[in-house]
Amino acid sequence: MFLRYMPSGFVLVSPGDDLDAVLDAIVQTGYGEEFCLAFSLDRSFAAELMRAGFLVMSEYMGPEDNAGVIIEPMHHLIRSVLFLDRVHEGKTIQRFLPGYEFAFDRDFDRIIARCAEVHGEGWLTKPLIKIITSVKALGKKEVMPAAFGVYRDGELKAGEFGVIAGGVYTSYSGYHDESNAGKAQMILTARWLKEQGFAFWDLGMPLEYKDKLGAVNISLRNFLELFRKARACSRI
C-alpha cells in the first residue's frame, strides 16, 4: 500500500483505508512520526482505527470556541505492554487494596469527563469525547470503549478509560483523587483483566511507573503481531 502524505509530512488516513495495511506500510517505510492525520469524525471510522491498534487522539484546529478538531491516530513506535502474569504488585500497596471496591465500566461518562477535567483537554477534546462515547454506543463487542474505577464508601476515588479490542485492553487516560487510589485501580484492573483471560494490557507510551508495574517495551512491528492475534479473541 502507498502511504498518502500531507504537506506537513504526516500520513493521511481516511474512511475506507485498509488500516492494517497502513500500519504495515508505516513499519516497512520507517515512518518516523507517531501520529497520522484524519479529518473524519465518523464513529465507525473511529472504531476501525481502534480495532487496527491506533490510539485515537485529537487537536483543536484553532480557538476552541470556533474551531473544529483534527483527528490524530497515534501509533507509538515503542509500545509499553503489560503481560498479565508478570505484574509487579509490590508489598506496600497490598494493605490499601481491601479499602477499595473495584468496578468495571460502572461510570464511563463520569470517568472520561474527570480525566479531561484533571489533565486539561489537550488531546482529549470535547468532540473526541463525543466520538469515543458514540463508538461505545455502537455496542460492538469487538471494539468497546470501557472504564475501570475504584470506590471508597461508594465514592469514586480513581478511574481510567480506554478501549477493549478483543483480548487487548488499551489505556487512554486515568486520574486519582486520593493517594494510593490510582495504584490500587491499576493493580485491581490488571487482576480483572487476567481473570477475564485478556492477552495483555497495552499501556501505550513507555513511562517509568509502567516499567515498575512490570511492563516491557516492544517495537511497533512486534506489538502489531501480538495485537492482531489477540484482537480476534473477544473477552467481553
pLDDT tens digits, one per residue of 144-203: 999 999 999 999 999 999 999 999 999 999 999 999 999 999 999 999 999 999 999 999
Mean per-residue pLDDT, 97-120: 96
Q: Report d(CA 136, CA 146) in Å as an integer.
A: 8
Q: Residue 236: name the closest of 155, 154, 172, 140 by CA.
A: 140
- In the chain, where the domains are located: 4-76, 79-231
Q: Provide the CATH topology of domain 4-76.
A: Translation Initiation Factor IF3 (3.30.110)
For 23-45, the pLDDT digits (tens) are 999 999 999 999 999 999 999 99
| pTM as predicted | 0.94
Q: Report d(CA 46, CA 60) in Å as an integer.
A: 17
Q: Residue 167: name the closest of 196, 189, 194, 198 by CA.
A: 198
Question: Which of the listed CATH numbers 3.10.129.10, 3.40.50.150, 3.40.50.1400, 3.40.630.70 matches domain 79-231?
Answer: 3.40.630.70
Q: Report d(CA 159, CA 184) in Å as an integer.
A: 10
Q: Check if the beta carbon of residue 171 is closer than 8 Å to that of residue 201.
A: yes
pLDDT band at 18 (very low <50, low <70, confident <90, very high): very high
Q: What share of the chain is helix, strand, coil (3-state, %, to 5)?
A: 35, 30, 35
